[in-house]
Chains A and B, each alone.
Chain A
Amino acid sequence: MERLRSWLLPLLVAGVLVILWDRLVVLNGSTLFPRPFQVLLGLQELASEGLLHRYIIASLFRVLWGFALAALIGIPLGLLMGWFSLVYQALNPLIQILRPISPIAWIPVAILWFGVTEAGPIFLIFLASVFPITVTAAAAVKNIQLVYVRAAQNFGVTGLQLFARVILPATLPQILTGLRIALGIAWLVVVAAEMLVVSPRVGGLGYLIIDARNAGSRYDLVVAAMLVIGLIGMVLDLLVRQLEKFDEVRWGYGQR
């Protein structure tokens, strides 16, 4: 019963909203904004041309590259900042200034540095996700339970060994949470990032939104792309959540 309701209730709400959407468009008499079934037709059109498939892969490719680079740099940097207060003092103000700058503000800079290449959007996605990863990793180390560090030191574990055997595993649950937040932001930024690039040959879901608008106000395709972006974002989050079930990190999430 409980399980059924957790499926049925959101479906019901979504259904009501879709009907409301349809009625409003009809009442309004808009010729530009699509009705729900037109969005579905748009999706079908994109899928049959093979565009949808290609654009999804192109966008995922950029996000995963930017995100992976951010994790590769952000996690070690955050661990170092959390452990060595000198590194923290040196870098934290800089990070706190750079962090609130929207990745969109970097678009001109990205064009200047990378031209219209794949490196541009990857750079923007990297920028969007590297700060939350670094900041959560640093905070996790600062909040590490002293007793774990002391126990390790007591057994003669120091230096790089201490990082590998204690500090990293002790902070992994929080680092994973940081990665989840960062991946969400990275996916959020893909639309903006693909505004500046992208050759029509490669495309992307963000590119699709701009392109569909510019090439004849195809709002059915705009909304279709939005829908796909939302669904993929949800799936990405669910995937990262699966990682939280591993025994190595499950202890860090309390009772759920």
Chain B
Amino acid sequence: MAANSPALSIRGLRVQFPGKRGSAPIEVIAGMDLDVQQGEFVCLVGPSGCGKSTVLNVLGGFLPVTQGEVRIGGEPVHGPDRRRIFIFQENGVFPWLTVHDNIAFGLSRLPVTERSAVVQHYVEMVGLKGFEKAYPRELSGGMRQRVELARALAANPEMLYMDEPFGALDYLTRLKMRADLVRIWATEKKTIVFVTHDIDEAVQLADRVVVFTPRPARIAAIVPVDLPRPRDMDAEGFLHCRDSIFEAMGQLALARGEAAARAESNGYAG
């Protein structure tokens, strides 16, 4: 395979779910082509229920393809693979293991001393030093997502699939998690496919934002975000990208309204 061939290539992807008792199958993804380059950060956005997570689950090998093909590094996807780790919206950290043992979960092939060194490295990277012996129920939602991120990174995958990982967190925690994710992505050089319904989040994180139509989903637009990181959410370039995404979703008026409302409230809140 050529050195610059895409890390991930989707061709003519269709996904149908079986209908209820004899009714016709429900089409969720209605034909989709997408290439993701090695080391690229791609966000999938779209209205809720449009099939973003479905695509991610297909990439992760958790859902079968109805038609078309998904190739990663040239190979078709057959089921889950430790080279591509999924990070779940509902948090897949194991509550019966400590932070340390969770992060070590994918490392059972390594000798113990090496394992601990890897765990320690990623504990520090995600900022959980001192919490190695804590159990997930003792941590906040944001910290649990950090554990899951560290567990994924420790297995040294080529790609990360992140399914609205910050969706359940409060606003400020979410901002902090995004900043940390960008920093980690820059050092670890992983390819990331990230599903979100938060357009600001997508613009802050992604190299390219893939906008989905409502179900059955197709790609409405691909918006490149050519801005230096870390990204200022009030910069002109940022707002321009955001508007392009709203426009692709057919919701530009909504964006304008929101922007006006925001400018107003800024006058009070600073």
Contacts and interface: CB of A to CB of B under 8 A. Distances in A.
B171 interface: no
Contacts of B55: none
A170 interface: yes
Interface string A127-161: 00000000000000000010110111111110000
A247 interface: yes
B90 to A, nearest CB: 5
Contacts of A165: 105
B68 interface: no
A158 to B, nearest CB: 9
Interface string B116-138: 00000000000000000001110
Size category of the binding interface on chain B: 20 to 34
Interface in B140-159: 155
A153 B91 CA distance: 15
Contacts of A247: 96, 135
Given A150-B62, A250-B137, A155 B85 contact: yes
Interface residues of A, number: 22
Contact of A154 (B86, B90, B91): B86
B135 A150 contact: no
A170 B96 contact: yes
A248 B91 CA distance: 18
Contacts of B60: 150, 154
A248 B97 CA distance: 7
B92 interface: yes
A147 B96 contact: no
A249 interface: yes
Nearest to A250: B137
Interface string A66-104: 000000000000000000000000000000000000000
9 contacts: A148-B92, A150-B62, A150-B92, A151-B88, A155-B105, A157-B105, A169-B96, A249-B96, A252-B95
